[in-house]
Amino acid sequence: MLMQDILLGLAFYLIIEGLVYALAPSFLISMARLLPSFSEGALRITGLIAVALGVGLVWLIRG
Protein backbone atom coordinates (compact mmCIF):
# COMPACT_ATOMS: atom_id res chain seq x y z
CA MET A 1 0.00 0.00 0.00
CA LEU A 2 2.82 2.43 0.85
CA MET A 3 4.58 1.89 -2.49
CA GLN A 4 1.28 2.35 -4.30
CA ASP A 5 0.73 5.66 -2.47
CA ILE A 6 4.23 6.86 -3.34
CA LEU A 7 3.75 6.01 -7.00
CA LEU A 8 0.34 7.67 -7.01
CA GLY A 9 1.86 10.82 -5.51
CA LEU A 10 4.60 10.79 -8.14
CA ALA A 11 2.00 10.35 -10.88
CA PHE A 12 -0.02 13.34 -9.62
CA TYR A 13 3.16 15.41 -9.42
CA LEU A 14 4.00 14.58 -13.04
CA ILE A 15 0.45 15.40 -14.15
CA ILE A 16 0.49 18.80 -12.44
CA GLU A 17 3.98 19.66 -13.69
CA GLY A 18 3.05 18.61 -17.20
CA LEU A 19 -0.08 20.75 -17.12
CA VAL A 20 1.93 23.81 -16.08
CA TYR A 21 4.38 23.32 -18.96
CA ALA A 22 1.59 22.59 -21.45
CA LEU A 23 -0.95 25.25 -20.46
CA ALA A 24 1.14 28.15 -19.17
CA PRO A 25 4.72 28.04 -20.49
CA SER A 26 5.07 31.85 -20.56
CA PHE A 27 4.00 32.05 -16.90
CA LEU A 28 6.59 29.41 -16.01
CA ILE A 29 9.32 31.34 -17.82
CA SER A 30 8.40 34.60 -16.08
CA MET A 31 8.39 32.85 -12.70
CA ALA A 32 11.83 31.37 -13.43
CA ARG A 33 13.12 34.88 -14.19
CA LEU A 34 11.67 36.15 -10.89
CA LEU A 35 13.28 33.50 -8.67
CA PRO A 36 16.77 35.07 -8.48
CA SER A 37 15.24 38.25 -7.06
CA PHE A 38 14.06 36.40 -3.92
CA SER A 39 16.46 35.76 -1.07
CA GLU A 40 17.52 32.24 -0.28
CA GLY A 41 15.81 32.50 3.10
CA ALA A 42 12.48 33.54 1.54
CA LEU A 43 12.62 30.61 -0.89
CA ARG A 44 13.47 28.23 1.95
CA ILE A 45 10.57 29.47 4.10
CA THR A 46 8.17 29.21 1.16
CA GLY A 47 9.34 25.65 0.52
CA LEU A 48 8.94 24.69 4.17
CA ILE A 49 5.42 26.15 4.23
CA ALA A 50 4.55 24.17 1.09
CA VAL A 51 5.88 20.98 2.69
CA ALA A 52 3.91 21.63 5.89
CA LEU A 53 0.70 22.26 3.92
CA GLY A 54 1.26 19.08 1.91
CA VAL A 55 1.86 17.00 5.03
CA GLY A 56 -1.22 18.54 6.65
CA LEU A 57 -3.37 17.69 3.63
CA VAL A 58 -2.11 14.11 3.57
CA TRP A 59 -2.79 13.84 7.31
CA LEU A 60 -6.34 15.17 6.87
CA ILE A 61 -7.08 12.91 3.91
CA ARG A 62 -5.43 9.73 5.20
CA GLY A 63 -6.21 10.51 8.87
The total number of structural domains in the chain stands at: 1
- pLDDT score of 1: 77
Evaluate whether 55 touches 63 at the Cβ level (below 8 Å): no
- pLDDT score of 2: 85
- pLDDT score of 21: 94
CA end-to-end distance (rounded Å), the chain? 15
State which H helix or E strand residue 27 sits in.
helix 25-34
Ranges under pLDDT 50 in the chain? none
Which of these, 18, 15, 9, lies nearest to 58 by C-alpha position? 9
Domain of residue 23: give its range: 2-62
Which of these, 5, 3, 4, lies nearest to 58 by C-alpha position? 5
Evaluate whether 54 touches 61 at the Cβ level (below 8 Å): no
pLDDT by residue (tens digit) across 39-51? 999 999 999 999 9
